[in-house]
């Protein structure tokens, strides 16, 4: 019995000393006190004008991205199925939401000391049950965090270490249509965050105003900075792939660091999330480290 107790104690101590999202320091930090550089439109990978990323979901996670944003729409072939579609499934269809979730689950299975966040949009205002079906169908729901109260106060979020030790290492948000009385782990994004303007074509990224939710107060909310640059081509805004190295720089005019500093001065705390296109370009992980004090 004594040997068993010693073994359990060694296991617990090893868990306490392990790294969380790659750093020991994160283990003691609350989720709401960590800055994540996130992948905007993470599943839309390729070289066409509508694509936002160069590398697939697993590669994004492997490089250090821990916040994945994606658009969902009703499948044009089966209205019971949720697809990852860019604006319209006729424009860009990256496959089933369930397949995307299965990819993330497989990565979480192989990386037990990591916390990942998924932010989904509900472009067709679909019932929350369809989202729940996709999560349960993939099996990733076993990792999903359920807050002790809803909404959880910004000061009451668990640490990354707590999330990891509990096994609830996936945090999920939905922009519209969340109903925690039905699917308790899919949280209402705008009860927790506000966002700065998106579809920005000004490379200086000088605007930190609250765009969504309309009329919201910054008090008590985390916030998302939309730091991805578009360029207007024949009347349509598309991702500015050619500017990605500059847009995703850690420092300098128009950089991740510059906009984060401007927003932090306005809201008195560092952004919680900075969404970026083409995360393999520039210095997104360096910027993330710097914003977290490393």
Specify whether 227 is catalytic: no
Q: Roughly what angle, to the nearest 10 degrees, separates helices 284-291 and 256-267?
A: 30
Residue ranges of alpha helices (H) inside the chain are 2-17, 57-63, 97-110, 128-138, 160-166, 189-192, 244-247, 256-267, 284-291
Q: Give the whole-angstrom CA distance, residue 31 versus residue 117.
A: 10
Asked whether 136 and 128 are in contact (CB, 8 A), the reply is no
Positive or negative, the Cα torsion across 159, 270, 61, 70? Answer: positive
Q: Which listed residue (40, 51, 73, 227) is catalytic?
A: 40
**Euclidean distance between CA atoms 260 and 279, whole angstroms:** 16
C-alpha–C-alpha distance, residues 175 and 172, integer Å? 10
Residues 6+ apart with CB under 8 A from 241: 277, 278
User: Chain centroid to CA 149: how far?
Assistant: 21
Q: How many Å separate Cα 85 from the centre of its chain?
A: 17
Place of tokens 């499948």: 75
Q: At what angle do helices 97-110 and 128-138 cross, to 10 degrees?
A: 40
Compute the distance between CA of residue 20 and CA of residue 27 in angstroms, rounded to an integer: 5
Q: Point out the catalytic residue in the list 51, 86, 227, 269.
A: 86
Of 44, 93, 87, 51, which is closest to residue 69 (Cα–Cα)? 44
Active-site residue flag, 40: yes
Q: Which two tokens stand for residue 61?
A: 């996670």
Residues assigned a catalytic role = 40, 86
């Amino acid at each position: 019995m004594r040997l068993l107790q010693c073994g359990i104690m060694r296991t617990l101590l090893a868990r306490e000393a392990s790294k969380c999202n790659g750093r020991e320091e994160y283990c003691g930090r609350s989720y709401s006190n960590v800055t994540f550089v996130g992948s905007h439109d993470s599943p839309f990978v390729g070289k066409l004008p509508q694509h936002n990323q160069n590398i697939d979901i697993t590669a994004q996670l492997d490089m250090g991205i821990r916040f994945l944003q994606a658009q969902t729409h009703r499948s044009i072939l089966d209205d019971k199925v949720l697809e990852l579609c860019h604006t319209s499934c006729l424009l860009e269809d990256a496959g089933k939401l369930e397949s995307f979730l299965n990819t993330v689950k497989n990565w979480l299975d192989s990386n037990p000391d990591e916390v990942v966040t998924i932010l989904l949009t509900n472009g067709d205002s679909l019932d929350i049950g369809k989202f729940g079906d996709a999560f349960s169908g993939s099996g990733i729901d076993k990792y999903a965090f359920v807050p002790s109260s809803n909404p959880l106060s910004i000061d009451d979020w668990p640490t990354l270490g707590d999330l990891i030790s509990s096994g609830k290492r996936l945090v999920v948000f939905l922009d519209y249509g969340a109903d925690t009385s039905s699917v308790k782990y899919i949280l209402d994004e705008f009860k927790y965050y506000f966002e700065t303007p998106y579809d920005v074509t000004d490379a200086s990224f000088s605007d930190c105003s609250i765009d969504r939710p309309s009329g919201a107060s910054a008090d008590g909310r985390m916030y998302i900075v939309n730091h991805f640059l578009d360029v207007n081509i024949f009347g349509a805004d598309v991702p500015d792939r050619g500017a990605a190295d500059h847009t995703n720089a850690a420092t300098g005019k128009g950089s991740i660091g510059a906009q984060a500093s401007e927003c932090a001065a306005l809201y008195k705390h560092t952004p919680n999330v900075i969404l970026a296109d083409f995360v393999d370009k520039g210095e997104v992980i360096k910027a993330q480290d710097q914003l977290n004090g490393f």
